[in-house]
Amino acid sequence: MPDCPNAIPGRNKGTERIRSTSAVAAHGCRSELTSSQSEEESFPQGDATLNVSLGCHWRWAMVEIDIKLMRAAIAVLEAGTFSKAAMVLRMGQSGLTKQIAALETALGFLVFSREGRRNIPTLAGEIFLAEARLSLEHQERAIRLSRATKQQAEVVLHVGKSPYTDPFLLTNLLSLRLPLTPTLKVQLSSRLAVELMQDLLNGTLDLAFVTGLPDTARLTSVLVSDQTFFVVMLNDDRLAAQSEIGTRDLEDTSCVLFERHVHPFLYDEVVRVMRPASKSGFSLHHVMNAEDAAQFVRRGYGVAMLTQAGAWRIARAGLTMRPLNVDGLRVQTRLTCRSDDQNRTVRDFVRTFMSLIEQKRPAKQMGLRLAS
C-alpha cells in the first residue's frame, strides 16, 4: 500500500476523534488487503492506523472533492478573509470555515495560512487554487457551449485583439463563414496584450490575435503577420528624407514609445535594441496609444515608434512614417488558442481563416506607399 500523508499541521483535533474517524475510512479499504493479512497486521495501533485510514481517504478525495469546496476556497482567496468571503457566498462564517477545513483534510495540506487579519495561500495552496479556478471556469464554459449546441442556438466565438492587430486580419476575420456552422457569430473584444493571454488561459476567449508575446506550452498558435516597427515624424523632419530608419539615425533623437504596461514584452525588446545606440540627446517619452503619440510628435517631443497599424492611423495632417530597419526587432502576430481546446468549431475556424488570408495575401510583399 502506498505511503499516506501525515496529519495536517495545525489541525490537531484530538487523538481519539481522529482514530474514530479513521476507523470508518479503514473499513472501506479492507478489500484492498490480502486475505492472508490479519486485522492486527493491516491496522496496527497508533500512528500507523491513522496513516492507513487517511491513505484510503486520500485516494478517494483526489477524485471526489466537492465543487462547492473549491468555490469556497476561491472566494476566500479573492476576499482575503473568511468573513468577507462568507458574505459573498451568502453563508455563515462558521459554515465556510468548516468547508475550508473539509477541503484541507481531503487534500492533506493547508490551503491557507493566517497572517494578521488576512488568510494567505500556502505554496501548495497557490498551485491548487490556480488550477481549481481554471477547472471551474472550464466547467462553466462546457455547460454553456453544450446547452447552446443542444438548443441549436447561435454559436458564439469569442475572439480577442490588441491595439496592434492589423486591420487586414480583422476584416478577413469578420467576413469568414463556416458552411458547417451557419449560426456562427464572432464576438470581438479589445484587450491589452497580457490580458489576452490571461483570458485565453481561463477560457473567457476562444481565440486571440496575440502580438509579440513569448511562447507557452499551454497555448498553441499560428503566425499570421510579421512586420517591422515604424517611425512617425513631422513631414519636415530630417529623417523624412530617408526611405527607412536605422538605430544610428535615432542616436540623438528623442522618441515617443508606448507605456511598458501596455505591452511589457515588446517594450523591453525595443529598449534593449535601442539602448546601445542611445547617446546624450536620446530620451524616451511614454504614451498610451497612437493618437497620444501624434500629439507629442506635433509638439516637437521627437519621433514616435509604433506598429504599422498605429502608424497608419496617425500618418496624416503633417505627419509621415518610415519603416524601422533593425535586426531582431519584429512585430509578430499569432492567432492563438489553448493547447487543450478540443472545440471543433475553433479548429475549423483557424484552418479556414489561414486559407483565406493566404489567398488574399500577395505572394511577394509589394512596396509600401509611404504617407507624405
Q: Considering only CA atoms, which of 255, 245, 251, 301 is closest in space to residue 280?
A: 251
d(CA 344, CA 13): 51
Lowest mean pLDDT among 113-122, 175-184, 209-218, 251-260: 175-184
Average pLDDT over residues 121-134: 90
Q: Of residues 282 and 28, which shows the higher confidence score?
A: 282
Q: Has residue 73 got a pLDDT over 80? A: yes
> Which segments within 249-354 are labelled E, that is strand?
254-258, 283-287, 303-306, 319-323, 331-338
Q: What are the DSSP calls for 174-196, one per residue?
A: HH---TT-TTEEEEEEE--HHHH
* Residue-level pLDDT at 110: 92
Biggest CA–CA distance in the chain, Å, is 96
Lowest mean pLDDT among 93-97, 116-120, 150-154: 150-154
* Residue-level pLDDT at 33: 36
Q: Considering only CA atoms, which of 86, 87, 230, 201 is closest in space to residue 135?
A: 201
- Give pLDDT tens digits for 286-311: 888 888 889 899 988 889 888 888 88
Three-state DSSP state, 141 = helix
Q: Has residue 265 got a pLDDT over 60? A: yes
Q: Are 53 and 22 in contact (CB under 8 A)?
A: yes
Comparing 154-226+332-360 with 229-323, is the CATH topology the same? yes
Average pLDDT over residues 148-172: 76
Amino acid code (one letter) for 355: S
- Give pLDDT tens digits for 210-264: 887 777 788 888 888 888 889 999 988 888 888 888 878 887 778 888 888 888 8
Average pLDDT, the chain: 75
Determine how many CB atoms are found less than 10 A away from the CB of residue 372: 10
d(CA 94, CA 66): 18
Confidence of residue 279 (pLDDT cuts 50, 70, 90): low
Q: Are 259 and 194 in contact (CB under 8 A)?
A: no
* Residue-level pLDDT at 122: 92
- Give pLDDT tens digits for 37-62: 433 333 344 443 334 444 444 444 44
d(CA 335, CA 159): 10
Query: pLDDT > 70: what percent of the chain?
Result: 75
CATH assignment, 154-226+332-360: 3.40.190.10
Per-domain residue ranges for the chain?
15-64, 72-92+108-142, 154-226+332-360, 229-323
Q: Has residue 275 got a pLDDT over 80? A: no
Q: Has residue 16 got a pLDDT over 70? A: no
Which set of grid coordinates corresponds to residue 146? Answer: 453544450
d(CA 290, CA 118): 42
Based on the number of CB atoms within 10 Å of its own CB, is 111 exposed (0-12), middle (13-18) or buried (19 or more)? buried
CA trace torsion 262, 266, 272, 274 (10° rounding): -90
* Residue-level pLDDT at 321: 92
CATH superfamily assigned to domain 229-323: Periplasmic binding protein-like II (3.40.190.10)
d(CA 286, CA 19): 65
What secondary structure letter does DSSP report for 245?
B
* Residue-level pLDDT at 289: 84
The pTM of this model reads: 0.52
Average pLDDT over residues 151-157: 67
Contacts of 107 (CB under 8 A, 6+ apart): 61, 65, 124, 128
* Residue-level pLDDT at 123: 92
Average pLDDT over residues 176-190: 77
Q: Of residues 11 and 242, which shows the higher confidence score?
A: 242
Phi first, then psi: give them for residue 222, nearest 5 degrees. -135, 135
Amino acid code (one letter) for 69: L
112-138 as b/e, with b when 16 or more CB fall inside 10 Å?
beeeeeebebeeebeebbeebbbebee
Average pLDDT over residues 264-274: 81
Average pLDDT over residues 82-110: 90
* Residue-level pLDDT at 24: 37
